[in-house]
Each structure stands twice: as structure tokens, then as C-alpha cells.
């Protein structure tokens, strides 16, 4: 059992891109950071790089594959075996696919990884979080949530990976909002917030062909900002004393792709409480976990 007095944060997908910079920011803020990553080798390389970047960093690695719900369960068990509390959970990891893929249970892989795995992880660990306003759960959404919908009758979105990605990131935002409403209704002080990183070449585009990647980057290159800048909304949500539960943050520059952190704009569908409630119920069914507060 870890007996460090430090505050403890989990950052999923901490080995590269925005997750790496988020882990660095949390370490700089004095948190002991648990790097939740799929690859031991990549996580260890990132840990060494983080220590070089932040010499005072206190880090741990626990392997996690969010698309495999049994793996999520094992991660939660491993975390509980090492730690007695969790102060901040940053649900950062995400995949972007341009092909139809499913997890072992036949669920569209982006929906399973980006949303359902984080839904389950949060449900399994939230009881370890101190009930105070400094305890935070941060959901990483995306500009891609705009114009998306939850295809309840076909979560594979007909095999269209781009549409499925938008669906998964809308689900992240709907979950963050609904979680905060339920925390408030239960009288809890823990804050659930959502953010989007704007535009960055964060490693999400690795499933694209070289030609697809080059074409997309040529279209948006002038709007992209660094992964360090893209991590700022999540760090603001996790660390600022001024945020409110249910807030949604992102860059405030042109097209919200870069710029100073501020309140971000949402698609109108995020205000549909029926959709949010249905998503919660479906998420419980698909993960096999009742999420009660």
C-alpha cells in the first residue's frame, strides 16, 4: 500500500501526446501521477522522459487497455492494492480510427475505448475520491462532438469510423455533464468537468494512411498548437480552484483550435437530458456495471 501523503492523480494515455504533457503538468503541481497505459515499454520510456522533464516527478505505471473491460477491472484492482485514495482522475486516452473495428465484445472500438472504458473506470474508483472540491474527474471530449449524435440503434455507426469517433467524443461530454449532475444531486462535492484540447497532432492520427494524414495536416496545420498547449484545458479543469462542476473548457482562439483556455462552446444536443440519461443506462448495460453514487 502506498503511504505517500501526496495527492494522487491517474492520467489515462499518459505515455504520449496530450496525456504525456498532462502527466507532466500534474507532476509539476506536486501530484503523484499514475500513468495508465497500454504498453509497458512505451510507458517506461515516457516515465524516463517525464523524470528528465520534471526531476521532482513522482510516478507509477499501471497497465490499462480501456477497450477491454476485464482489463479495466484489473486496473482498478491493481490501483486499490497500491493506493487508499484517488484525488484526480483525468480520462484522457482516446483513439481515432478510420476503419470499422470492434473490441472483444463486439462493441465499436472507439465507443468502447473513448467512452465506455472511462465510464467503467470512473465507476470502479469514484468511491476512493475524497469528498471535497479539489477532487476532480476530467473528461476529454473533442471539437468532433459537434454535429454528432448517439446512434443508440447502431453504435457501430454503419462502420463509418469518422462518425463513430464523433459519437464517442459526444458520449464523453454527455457523461461528464451527467456525472456532475448526479454528484450534485447526491450532495457530493467532487467536481466532474469536461474539456477539449483544440487542435494538435497528438498521435490520434496514427491509423490514417500517410496520404490521409498529410492532407488533413495541410488543411489544419495553421490552427494546430503544441501538445503542451493542448493539455492546458485538462490541467485547468484538474487544478484551478475557480472551476465549477459541469464546466466545459477549451482553447478560445479561432475555431477553438488554439489560444487561451476558457469556456468552450457545446453542441445543443448536450443539453438533452433524455439522451444523457439513456446513454448512462446503455453504458451500464454494456459494461455490466451499475454506476450508483
Q: Which CATH number fits domain 8-287: 3.40.50.720, 3.40.1080.10, 3.40.50.300, 3.40.50.2300?
A: 3.40.50.720
Residue 212: CB atoms within 10 A of its CB come to 12
Predicted pLDDT at 228: 78
Q: Name the 3-class secondary structure at 257.
A: coil
Predicted pLDDT at 1: 46
Predicted pLDDT at 215: 54
Write down the domain spans for the chain.
8-287
Q: Are 16 and 41 a contacting pair, CB within 8 Å?
A: no
Nearest Cα to 195, choosing from 255, 241, 237? 237
Nearest Cα to 69, choosing from 126, 13, 12, 113? 113
Active site residue 83: no
User: Facing residues of 262 across strands?
Assistant: 250
Say how far apart CA 35 and CA 15 lie, in whole Å. Answer: 7
Q: What is the pLDDT along the chain (293 residues), one digit of tens a residue?
A: 445 568 999 999 999 999 999 999 999 999 999 999 999 999 999 999 999 999 999 999 999 999 999 999 999 999 999 999 999 999 999 999 878 899 999 999 999 999 999 999 999 999 999 999 999 999 999 888 888 999 999 999 999 999 999 999 999 999 999 999 999 999 999 999 999 997 665 544 545 456 655 555 554 444 565 777 789 999 999 999 999 999 999 988 767 677 788 899 999 999 999 999 999 999 999 999 999 88
Options 31, 83, 165, 249, the catalytic residue: 165
Q: Are 112 and 105 a contacting pair, CB within 8 Å?
A: yes
Say how far apart CA 70 and CA 67 lie, in whole Å. Answer: 9
Q: Name the 3-class secondary structure at 98.
A: coil
Helix then strand then coil, in percent of the chain rounded to 5, is 50, 15, 40
Predicted pLDDT at 222: 46
Predicted pLDDT at 11: 98
Predicted pLDDT at 2: 46
Say how far apart CA 75 and CA 258 lie, in whole Å. Answer: 34
Predicted pLDDT at 199: 65
Predicted pLDDT at 223: 52
DSSP-derived letter for residue 91 is: E
Predicted pLDDT at 134: 97
Predicted pLDDT at 113: 97
Amino acid at each position: 500500500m502506498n503511504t505517500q501523503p501526496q495527492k494522487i492523480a491517474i492520467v489515462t494515455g499518459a505515455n504520449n501526446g496530450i496525456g504525456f504533457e498532462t502527466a507532466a503538468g500534474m507532476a509539476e503541481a506536486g501530484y503523484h501521477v499514475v500513468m495508465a497505459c497500454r504498453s509497458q515499454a512505451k510507458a517506461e520510456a515516457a516515465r524516463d522522459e517525464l523524470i528528465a522533464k520534471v526531476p521532482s516527478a513522482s510516478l507509477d505505471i499501471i497497465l490499462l487497455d480501456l477497450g477491454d473491460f476485464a482489463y479495466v477491472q484489473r486496473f482498478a484492482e491493481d490501483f486499490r492494492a497500491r493506493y487508499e485514495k484517488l484525488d484526480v482522475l483525468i480520462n484522457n486516452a482516446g483513439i481515432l480510427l478510420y476503419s470499422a473495428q470492434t473490441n472483444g465484445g463486439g462493441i465499436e472500438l472507439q465507443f468502447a475505448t473513448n467512452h465506455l472504458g472511462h465510464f467503467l473506470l470512473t465507476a470502479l474508483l469514484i468511491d476512493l475520491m475524497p469528498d471535497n472540491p479539489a477532487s476532480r474527474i476530467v473528461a476529454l471530449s473533442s471539437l468532433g462532438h459537434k454535429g454528432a449524435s448517439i446512434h443508440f440503434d447502431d453504435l457501430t455507426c454503419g462502420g463509418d469510423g469518422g462518425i463513430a469517433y464523433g459519437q464517442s467524443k459526444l458520449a464523453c461530454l454527455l457523461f461528464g455533464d451527467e456525472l456532475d449532475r448526479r454528484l450534485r444531486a447526491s450532495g457530493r462535492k467532487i467536481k466532474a468537468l469536461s474539456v477539449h484540447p483544440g487542435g494538435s497532432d497528438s498521435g490520434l492520427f496514427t491509423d490514417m494512411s500517410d496520404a490521409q494524414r498529410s492532407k488533413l495536416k495541410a488543411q489544419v496545420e495553421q490552427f494546430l498548437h503544441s501538445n503542451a498547449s493542448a493539455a492546458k484545458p485538462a490541467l485547468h479543469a484538474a487544478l484551478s480552484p475557480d472551476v465549477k462542476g459541469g464546466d466545459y473548457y477549451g482553447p478560445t482562439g479561432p475555431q477553438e483550435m488554439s489560444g487561451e483556455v476558457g469556456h468552450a462552446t457545446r453542441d445543443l444536443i448536450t443539453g438533452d437530458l433524455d439522451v444523457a440519461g439513456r446513454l448512462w443506462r446503455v453504458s451500464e448495460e454494456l459494461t455490466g456495471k451499475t454506476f450508483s453514487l
